[in-house]
Amino acid sequence: MRNVGSDEWADIALRDAINNGLVPGPRILAAGFSIGSTGGHCDTNGYRPDRYPHRGVEQGIANGADEAMAAVRHQVKYGADVIKICATGGVLSAGDAVGVQQLTEEEMRAIVRAATMAERKVAAHAHGTEGIKAAIRAGVASIDHGAMLDDEAIRLMKERGTFLVPTRMAFESVARGAREGKLAPWAATKALQVEEAARASFAAAVRAGVNIAFGTDAGVFPHGENAEEFVLMVRGGMTPAQAIRSATVDAARLLGREAELGRIAPGYYADIVAVRGDPLADVSLLRQVAFVMKGGVVYKQDGAEVQVAVGQ
């Protein structure tokens, strides 16, 4: 699992607890704090100044190339495996337009440079077209969401091997919440604004053969429902085989872990998820996981949890 952003080092703490055998859990690549501009999608905004104090480099808020590099180095210092940035506005952040670019290309290049020096990849939250293209030119590994792709953005992604992480579930969830009156009016407007554009962008990326990696933005909707993403990807134009590859072989490539993850083969981790039936015929079967093995240890068998001794 690639977790792209968490306050107070929560994702890094959980990763370490799992790796040290204190609790069972998935393999986690953690980002620490997301990096963005003051008042942008990665900041805590929309509240009284005395409620949330100003956030700085230590919390991932950077203005200018030097601060951007410092923010990367701070996340790496405290254990980040991957760097997350907010290149554009977002649906659920107050006070910004969903598509507006929020980091300059110079800032994004500085972030990618610092991350590359630390052997980390950069994931870019990006909805708006110009912010997407600036992030691709800057050298990010993935565009997460990618709501407003145009032909030039798709061409750049193809040329540079940039991945799209389409998060179809997130778009569908916020649009449904907007229609059901569960979002603030300003968030509902943005959710509906990008809904159709995101569907069209995903379909265009699939047709063009852009690298696509599975990702859901879980938390925008309840955790545990993530496999619905497979259904939405197939509905949007992928074959079941392509959707499954996006979560295995292709996801491992995005993570830079293709030599040990994403396949069942000698020399790879024995990480296996299995379902009853043929998901190539009915991809929705992936909603009902019957078997889970991690590193050769079985955690779920015949649909039931298997108790595993701590430290095993």
- Could you tell me where the beta strands, DSSP code E, fall in 200-312? 211-212, 272-274, 291-294, 297-301, 304-305
CA distance 221 to 202: 20
- Say if residues 215 and 233 touch (Cβ distance below 8 Å): no
CA distance 113 to 120: 10
Q: Which of 251, 278, 254, 277 is nearest to 262 (CA)?
A: 251
List CB contacts of 297: < 8 A, sequence separation 6 or more. Answer: 308, 312
CA distance 70 to 62: 8
Catalytic residues: 84, 217
State the alpha helices, DSSP H only, in the chain.
Answer: 10-19, 65-77, 105-117, 129-138, 151-160, 168-179, 185-208, 228-235, 240-247, 249-255
- Say if residues 72 and 35 touch (Cβ distance below 8 Å): yes
CA distance 171 to 56: 30
- The first and second tokens of residue 123, run together, are 């994931």
CB atoms inside a 10 Å sphere around CB 258: 15
List CB contacts of 285: < 8 A, sequence separation 6 or more. Answer: 275, 276, 277, 278, 279
Please name the residue that has the structure tokens 């990006």.
126
- The first and second tokens of residue 152, run together, are 């030039």
CA distance 199 to 64: 33
- Say if residues 145 and 195 touch (Cβ distance below 8 Å): no
